[in-house]
Structure 1
Amino acid sequence: MELEVRHLRALCAIADAGSLHQAARRLGVSQPSLTTQLQRIENVLGAELFLRERTGCRPTSLGRAVLSRARPLVDGMSDLVTAALAEAEAARPRGSRLRIGSTASRVIGGWLRRLRVALPGTDISLRVDVSAHALLRSVAASRLDVAFVHEVEGCPLTLPEGLEQRVLLDREPQFISLSRDHPAARRRVVELGDLAGDPWMVDPTVDGEWDGVRRVLGAAGLNPPVLHGDYLTAASLVVLGEAVAPCQPTSGPRDDMVIRPLLGDPLAVRLLLVSRPGTDIEVVYAQLEDAYRDAARRASGYHEWLLRHRSPLARTS
């Protein structure tokens, strides 16, 4: 294994964050993946670069020496990429273009379709990523114009300096998906205690997802079995009654599973549209708002929730 700039960037992130957990969030990777990467780097160098303590990570003397050489290289590469992107942008033929990014959402299709109608002749591209932080970095580096991201409650996103944000929804409740045979599926609203004996499926690659679920379960005094995996796999396990999983409230109805709100809405996210300064996002935001409202209307359980909470997004016209 040869050390590359991405390895040096990881070392700098760990030192700056003071913990593997926080560094992984900033880099948009899972903590186990970053831990493995650090171990491989240390194996190459033949010594520890960080002392793992209960309060976080602290550089060893060798770690400080490596960091002193790594930072100028990482900063230099960042400057080089920024300059290259600026030159490429300046050389590109002028024409209407919109590069949008989004974390996983059932709103994306409707948003994209509306943008194509509202902005005829505009070259619109889409990037979907599980990591909100990765999308934010792309906006900051001018690789994206806007990004629609969700911020898990209790796990704030680190917004790169200079970016602007507009809140679509300050608090979107996360619902729970259950098999149709689950005893709690007969209820309109499910209590966390009803799920104490069920394995929970959570995707740890989604920024803040596992932390948010763990915080809510801990506050409720619950410690159920937890499975880590993607939500496509989660859906197949939920259908079989092998797990329950948090889900977006805009999730559409299915014949083989039910979607229910949780009592008190303990799990929630904030929905944000982030852009670079000077970007005209009025049309982009308006089409996103319309697409979200339409998705909420089609998910009857969520539409009822919005009506109960007197949200303007419950408006149908």
Structure 2
Amino acid sequence: MTPNVNSIASRLHVRQLRLLVALGDHGSLLKAANQVGLTQPGASKALQEIETTLGTALFTRTRRGLEANDAGHCAIRYARLIYTDLSHMREEIAGILRGHGGRVAVGVIMGAVPLLTRAVSALISRQPEMSVEIIEDASETLLSLIDAGRLDLAICRTSVSQHPEMYESVKLQDETLAVVANVQHPLRKAKKVTLKDLAAYRWVVYRANMPMRVLLEREFQQAAIRFPSSLLETTSAFATLSLLQDNPSFVALVSIDVAQFFVRHEATRILPLSFTSRSEPYELVTTRGAPLSPGARLLRNELVAGKVVLGG
């Protein structure tokens, strides 16, 4: 039976976590021991203590060294996460003591990437030593990362959550959508484009149930056109751009900010399609009632100030 978390927390030490990470890197008890400053017998004893604490064997002893089993891979993965978090804590405290806010981890959906990067650039110009981690993904994933404490805040939408009351959110900006395509797309010179014109082309879109995808499906339904069944689904702006570059017949639905970024770099063309539906606004989301780190407060203030400038 696996021990409870309080038992594990009281018996597991940071050096043991370092040993797990080193074993994952080297697969050798001797090399791992040298990396963490232990003798080989000391490392062997520490590994035995770890396995006793977790209630299971983590490695198989072979001629080539130690091979992690499924439980071992799990333990190594979490040891890396914990050790990385300790590094981030040190980095943030050092930043706070130096007076520049330290570190912030922020999530963002694809359409809001330009909005976030403008705010980050402005913040870094005033706080040049500050560290910022940016994770781009769908709202559902970003909210789960906030729940797990992996993100300080995110620009996404709480409407995808079954429990939106868990979050505090501030409307940042309305989203305007655009259809983009390769600069050599067959409809690149059209003065006006309809969904009927685009129905036969391969679409690059968000996966099902995401707000941007829902809006596109609603537009097809209102136009009495069958929604395409063969789609390319991604939450990555770079993957979207790469797909459009590789195939001149593809079209993609993105935010106007992303579309204009692509166009400024002469990577795509915006097709003249008008939508009847309105997209949901971007929200700046944090955990309800949870205190923000100094770095998160600085970025939040930058984004909220940008909202005033943008008139959002």
The bucket for the TM-score relative to the shorter chain is 0.5 to 0.7
Aligned-partner residue type, residue 166 of structure 1: V
Structure-1 residue corresponding to 2:125: 117
> Following TM superposition, by how much is the alpha carbon of 1:212 offset from its aligned partner in structure 2, in angstroms?
3.8
CA separation of 1:127 and 1:237: change in aligned 2, threshold 3 A: closer
1:287 and 2:290 are equivalent in the alignment: no
Structure-2 residue corresponding to 1:47: none
Aligned equivalent of 1:247, options 254, 273, 290: 254
Q: Distance in 1 between matches of 2:222 and 2:119?
A: 36
- Residue 256 of structure 2 aligns to a residue in which SS? coil
Aligned-partner residue type, residue 248 of structure 1: S
Structure-2 residue corresponding to 1:168: 172
1:228 and 2:204 are equivalent in the alignment: no
**Structure 1: segments with no counterpart, 5+ residues:** 1-83, 295-310
Whose helix fraction is larger, Structure 1's or Structure 2's? 2
Structure-2 residue corresponding to 1:199: 202
Do 2:211 and 2:279's aligned partners in 1 also have CA atoms closer than 8 Å?
no
Q: Distance in 2 between matches of 1:157 and 1:166?
A: 16
Aligned-partner residue type, residue 247 of structure 1: V
> Following TM superposition, by how much is the alpha carbon of 1:258 offset from its aligned partner in structure 2, in angstroms?
0.6
Aligned equivalent of 2:105, options 88, 99, 109: 99
> Following TM superposition, by how much is the alpha carbon of 1:243 offset from its aligned partner in structure 2, in angstroms?
1.6
> Following TM superposition, by how much is the alpha carbon of 1:282 offset from its aligned partner in structure 2, in angstroms?
6.4
Q: What are the within-5 Å matches in structure 2 for residues 1-317 of structure 1? A: 94=93, 95=96, 96-97=101-102, 98-104=104-110, 105-119=113-127, 123-150=130-157, 156-159=160-163, 161-169=165-173, 171-182=174-185, 184-187=187-190, 190-204=193-207, 207-223=210-226, 224-230=228-234, 232-239=238-245, 240-250=247-257, 251=259, 252=261, 253=263, 254-260=265-271, 262-266=273-277, 268-276=279-287, 277=289, 278-279=291-292, 283-288=298-303, 312=311
- Name the % identity: 19
Give RMSD over aligned pairs.
Answer: 4.0
Do 1:146 and 1:274's aligned partners in 2 also have CA atoms closer than 8 Å?
yes
Q: Distance in 2 between matches of 1:166 and 1:112?
A: 18
Structure-2 residue corresponding to 1:81: none
Do 1:179 and 1:241's aligned partners in 2 also have CA atoms closer than 8 Å?
yes
State the TM-score, normalizing by the size of structure 2.
0.53
Q: Distance in 1 between matches of 2:297 and 2:239?
A: 37
CA separation of 1:216 and 1:261: change in aligned 2, threshold 3 A: same
Larger Rg: 2
**Structure 2: segments with no counterpart, 5+ residues:** 1-81
Shifted more, 283-292 versus 177-186: the winner is 283-292
CA separation of 1:161 and 1:290: change in aligned 2, threshold 3 A: closer
Q: Distance in 1 between matches of 2:105 and 2:239?
A: 29
Q: Distance in 1 between matches of 2:194 and 2:305?
A: 31
Do 2:190 and 2:272's aligned partners in 1 also have CA atoms closer than 8 Å?
no
> Following TM superposition, by how much is the alpha carbon of 1:220 offset from its aligned partner in structure 2, in angstroms?
1.9
Do 1:173 and 1:267's aligned partners in 2 also have CA atoms closer than 8 Å?
yes
